[in-house]
Structure 1
């Protein structure tokens, strides 16, 4: 959603094609996840978190056509409201995704570090409240995208463009970019890393058994988010000090990588199971299979507890 596209024609065509692919895969994949997690699966902590992630990703992917048309026509033709909303949707997706990943990580950490307490107090209602608060916080932090986006007449090409007008408030550019980097990336990654450290230490110390599937899915989601959004934050921070064309080009390309995160999550749900090689052809079945582990692990824990086993079956 940058105000200009400073890439050459070949680069522009490549980015447009990638955006189209992300849009198609993202809409189809996230719609499938919403359908399965929202209507076919039992409502559990896992399914609610992944359902919220899919809703966030679908909303973002649904706004990609506006950016695609902007890149093709080199102008903004959708008016002021969509200029603001498309940018708002991007940052809402970024914040809600990382906040939801934090909730998932903390939930796993609690279940490993305090399995008995977690089994008794980890309710769907409490997780729904946490998810709701994550969405509210994401909406509030994304408001600057609504405030500073505007449609203006380009002085050079004399066409309407959708731009960020940080000059409306002194030093707002630096404050918003730094805040976005710290709140939407650094702090969540630190919390997630601490949760991972506790999980790994606890598992190694107590020799606790665990199901590898949810651990793989969670790890893949977090690593994918980190790789997808880190370049965007780096180029955004560089753009504060360096108004160079290569920085603007890097930021444009990094936006494609960030967008890619929204279409990859459904495939991670589907293909991170233990028997990937045998069942990768059944896409929808694998998504449902990734969610089902939550219910199975809960049953396993109750059975183990009734037998007086000192070791806990932990769903990481």
Structure 2
């Protein structure tokens, strides 16, 4: 159960209890306008703005620069695409649930928005798992992986991820529907309806395992396995060949930086999506769950946490990905003109120092 569905089921129960306990005769009163009716949509708008700009730049940079078209970056581009679709097709509709009393977009959009939300989150989980497996394979088999870790392979895997996500998300069409309710007048709600409580629990448990728990466990296993290989050189230097030794250390350093970036992305997903997943389980399996204003605020915070994940990934790429920073500077040189000039001077100074050292060593050898 994801944010849209959690909102509707919680809101309808909360509204019903609030109406019976505190509002008296609702037809004689006006609908209250709560703070979250404007604050949460405003926060969602900020998430959309940052997420759309950031993820679009990531895809643009990867497609523009040939050196960025690596296997890992293709998975990152796929992750950015899922975030964009999620932000455009799901976030605006969820944002309207806070200021509006009910669902106003009809039965088809009720099913379609919930389906797309499930598909994009499912694709995000599988893509993160594929990225972790890719990094694990590159770490454990550095030479063998060179033949298989190609952009073409990453593109094929990404297409399969989308096909699998569409297939796994089809049950949403069966259970998502429009239901009549009452909140200061007759309203319609977009929510899940199951044949029985057992079906509901089974479906929620399936979503939790397939979309959250299983990917997190698989990713954790991959990185636990990788930790055993960190620090071991991929090429052992022979006959005091310092060039081979230098290249080996450089390969380990680059691979370690990329792996750290992927770890941060996975950890952010785990932290951001964990609260809403745990809330859904608690709501369905805890027999004494009570929909009140406290659980409503917890659910709202969990929603904001889950949607934030789609906008912070590009920031991670910018801060931790050296190749992304260089490509951004090449694409938008007017934003980094001063920094590029400084780095160019530093590079020339470093090259001059290297030449000076090399000359001195050559003179010493002659003597």
Pairwise mapping of residues 65-144 of structure 1 onto structure 2 (< 5 A)?
65-144=92-171
Asked whether 1:28 is paired with 2:53, we answer: yes
Sort the Cα spacing of 1:200 and 1:144 in 2 relative to 1 into closer, same or farther, 3 A.
Answer: same
Q: CA deviation at 1:284?
A: 6.6
| Larger mean Cα displacement after TM superposition, 96-105 or 145-154 | 145-154
Range with bigger deviation, 253-262 or 62-71: 62-71
Task: Report the equivalent of 2:62.
Answer: 37
Residues 112-166 of structure 1 deviation map (CA, whole Å, 9 limit, x = unaligned):
1111211122233322222222222222222232322212221343122211112
Unaligned runs of 5+ in 1: 287-316
Residue of structure 2 in register with 1:54 after alignment: 80
In structure 2, the residue corresponding to 1:159 is in which secondary structure?
Answer: strand
CA deviations 1:210-230 (Å, max 9, x no partner) are: 214322321221011000111
Give 1 or 2 for the bigger CA radius of gyration.
2
Find out whether 1:258 has 2:298 as its counterpart: no
Aligned residues: 283
Shift of 1:232: 0.8
1:221 to 265, 269, 287: 265
TM-score (norm 1): 0.80
Higher deviation after alignment, 55-64 or 245-254: 245-254
Displacement of 1:197 in angstroms is: 1.5
Q: CA deviation at 1:257?
A: 0.8
Q: CA deviation at 1:40?
A: 4.0
Cα distance in 2 for partners of 1:260, 1:23 equals 9
TM-score, normalised on structure 2? Answer: 0.70
* Residue 158 (1) aligns with residue 167 (2): no
Cα distance in 2 for residues equivalent to 1:283 and 1:184: 37
Query: What 5-or-longer segments of structure 2 have no aligned partner?
Result: 16-32, 235-248, 334-367
The 1:275/1:128 distance shift into structure 2, 3 A limit, reads: closer
CA RMSD of aligned residues (A): 2.8
What CA distance in whole angstroms lies between the structure 1 residues aligned with 2:93 and 2:126?
26
For residues 46 and 120 of structure 2, what CA distance do their matches in structure 1 show? 18
SS of alignment partner, residue 182 of structure 2: coil
Cα displacement (A) at 1:102: 0.9
Deviation (angstroms), 1:111: 0.9
Q: Which moved more, 1:176-185 or 1:200-209?
A: 200-209
Give yes or no for contact 1:34–1:54 (8 Å, CA) kept in 2: yes
- 1:238 is matched with which residue? 282
